[in-house]
């Protein structure tokens, strides 16, 4: 243990080795492997005394951790895109639909479409076009919002009807800068 303390002290072990060499005495060879507790201290030894630190062989990384490191080191895709669209009849304070639904009662007053996006954009226009699909299909309403974001975001669209909704199939089409990225169908039915 005394020998290890001299190594951790830095430059003084080099001076001690020179003094022993001058008087004809030789210091014993360093042990083949340092004890596990000593490895962390030896790793912090000053760079000015590399000869005084015994060689320590670190275990090689397994292929599983190497593969994980390669995946982690991959470049991050920052392209703006729609990650998901969720339809429901209620939203939380962070603009997300609280419960995803595809079937609504005719008495529901408002239906929401929460559009989750990822990536970054200085300017993009998200639009939602709501349509009634029964008989001769017809558009109910189309709205758009301009957004600028530098990460994940949620944009919420809604369609309202103060009266009873007609029974049948509906859809909402979500577009980014005029290009359709998602079509979600839902139904108004008696429950």
Closest CA to 99 of 110, 109, 88: 88
Full-prediction pTM beyond 0.75? Answer: no
Question: What's the average model confidence in pLDDT over 32-48?
Answer: 33
CA atoms within 13 A on the CB side of 71: 6
Question: pLDDT tens digits, residue range 45-69?
Answer: 222 223 333 444 433 433 344 444 4
The DSSP bridge pattern shows strands 110-118 and 121-132 to be: unpaired
Does 171 have pLDDT greater than 50? yes
Distance CA 169, CA 183 (A): 13
Task: Name the strand (E) or helix (H) holding 21.
Answer: helix 12-22
Distance CA 68, CA 6 (A): 40
Distance CA 140, CA 70 (A): 49
pLDDT at 135: 87
Question: What's the average model confidence in pLDDT over 154-173?
Answer: 96
CA atoms within 13 A on the CB side of 13: 20
Distance CA 172, CA 181 (A): 11
Percent of the chain scored above 90 by pLDDT? 57
For the ranges 75-79, 118-122, 135-139, the lowest mean pLDDT is seen at 75-79
Does 3 have pLDDT greater than 90? no
Distance CA 102, CA 107 (A): 15
Q: Which residue has better confidence, 20 or 171?
A: 171
pLDDT at 71: 52
Q: Which domains, ranges and CATH numbers included, belong to the chain?
A: 2-57 (no CATH), 81-188 (2.60.40.10)
Question: What's the average model confidence in pLDDT over 130-149?
Answer: 94
Burial class (CB in 10 A: 0-12, 13-18, 19+), 94: exposed
Q: pLDDT-derived band of residue 74, with 50, 70 and 90 as boundaries?
A: low
Closest CA to 110 of 94, 134, 130: 130
Structure tokens at 33: 């492997």
**CA triple 99-105-107, angle to 5 deg:** 110
pLDDT at 56: 40
pLDDT at 73: 53
Q: Which residue has better confidence, 108 or 38?
A: 108
- Coil, strand, or helix at residue 37? helix
């Amino acid at each position: 243990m005394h020998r290890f303390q001299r190594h951790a002290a830095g430059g003084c072990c080099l001076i001690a080795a020179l003094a022993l060499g001058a008087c004809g005495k030789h210091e014993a060879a360093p042990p083949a492997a340092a004890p596990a507790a000593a490895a962390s201290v030896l790793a912090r030894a000053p760079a000015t005394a590399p000869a005084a630190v015994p060689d320590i062989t670190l275990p090689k990384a397994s292929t599983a951790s190497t593969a994980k490191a390669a995946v982690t080191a991959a470049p991050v895709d920052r392209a703006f895109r729609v990650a998901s669209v969720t339809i429901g009849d209620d939203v939380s304070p962070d603009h997300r639909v609280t419960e995803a639904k595809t079937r609504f009662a005719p008495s529901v007053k408002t239906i929401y479409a929460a559009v989750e996006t990822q990536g970054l954009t200085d300017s993009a226009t998200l639009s939602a076009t709501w349509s009634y699909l029964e008989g001769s299909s017809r558009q109910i309403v189309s709205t758009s919002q301009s957004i600028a974001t530098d990460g994940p975001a949620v944009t919420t669209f809604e369609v309202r009807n103060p009266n009873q909704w007609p029974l049948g199939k509906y859809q909402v089409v979500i577009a980014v800068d005029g290009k359709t990225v998602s079509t979600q169908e839902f139904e108004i039915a008696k429950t």
